[in-house]
Amino acid sequence: MKLLEGGRTGQIWRDGDSVIRPSGAWTPTVHRFLRHLRNRGFRGAPEPIAISAEGQEVVGYVAGRVCEDLSDPLVGSERMLISAARLLREFHSASEGFLESDGEIKAWMLPPQEPREIVCHADFVPYNVATVDHEAVGIIDFDTAHPAPRLWDLAYAVYRWAPLSDPANPAVAFDLDEQVRRAESSAPPMGRRSKNGAGFRI
């Protein structure tokens, strides 16, 4: 087995095509949700495999390079930004119907937010997205997934992918004008009108 770096250091391992990681009270719900995504044809999320008696979850490995640093030309490119926005929209479309169709008691790490339109990932950030050939192809770490409006994910994704930060910070990859431009570029492929008819706005 190989210890995976990042996240909960020392607690996440890869064993071939599987990932072994700690589970929580919410894990059974998350696994049912991941199965729902696969049944809807979405392959950009881990395949749920098992929850062990030792309190570990086993999921399929999502191949690709994780985005760590947006100053890297590969992960900070326009192509990557737009593909990440589209991936999020595809995920949201696939998540539809789970809250209505799943009849079991649901436990979530985070409290649901109203209106409960879909199940949001709630941590769609560069280090939770797998990339291949300048494209975002997969999403990992669904621990924080919970019912919420789409805007819950959209706003946080724009904040982290633009990213919206103080340009005076030397660690920030883009100046203010570029941050605004990236936010505006990502909004259309991410957005979708909510049930109350309100559009997504930056």
Residues 44 and 116 in one domain: no
| Residue 89 in domain | yes
169 or 187, greater pLDDT: 169
Count how many domains the chain has. 2
Residues 14 and 73 in one domain: no
CATH of the domain at 172: 1.10.510.10
Contact 179, 167 (CB under 8 A): yes
The pLDDT > 70 percentage for the chain reads: 87
Is the pLDDT assigned to residue 198 strictly greater than 50? no
Q: What is the pLDDT of residue 16?
A: 93
Count CB-CB contacts under 10 A for residue 175: 11
| Residue 139 in domain | yes
| Residue 196 in domain | no
| Residue 123 in domain | yes
Q: What average pLDDT is seen over the chain?
A: 86
Residue 85 DSSP SS3: helix
Q: Please report where in the chains the tokens 């919410």 appear, as a residue.
A: 26
Residues 81 and 94 in one domain: yes
Tens digit of each residue's pLDDT (9 = 90 or more) over 3-29: 776 555 568 899 999 999 999 999 999
Q: Among the residues of the chain, which ranges form H helices?
A: 27-39, 78-95, 98-101, 150-161, 176-190
Is the pLDDT assigned to residue 194 strictly greater than 50? no
The pLDDT confidence band at residue 145, using thresholds 50, 70 and 90, is: very high
Domain limit, last residue, from 34, 60, 86: 60
Of the candidates 36, 8, 37, 5, the one whose C-alpha atom is nearest the C-alpha of residue 24 is 8
The pLDDT confidence band at residue 189, using thresholds 50, 70 and 90, is: low
Residues 177 and 77 in one domain: yes
- State which residues form the domain around 167: 65-190
77 or 194, greater pLDDT: 77
Q: What is the pLDDT of residue 190?
A: 67
Residues 94 and 50 in one domain: no
Residues 13 and 98 in one domain: no
Residues 128 and 156 in one domain: yes
Residues 35 and 104 in one domain: no
Residues 8 and 35 in one domain: yes
Residues 98 and 182 in one domain: yes
Residues 156 and 93 in one domain: yes
Of the candidates 26, 195, 23, 29, the one whose C-alpha atom is nearest the C-alpha of residue 102 is 29
Is the pLDDT assigned to residue 47 strictly greater than 70? yes
Residues 23 and 83 in one domain: no
| Residue 186 in domain | yes
The size of the chain, in residues, is 202
pTM, 2 dp: 0.86
Q: What is the pLDDT of residue 182?
A: 78
Q: What is the pLDDT of residue 196?
A: 47
The pLDDT confidence band at residue 197, using thresholds 50, 70 and 90, is: very low
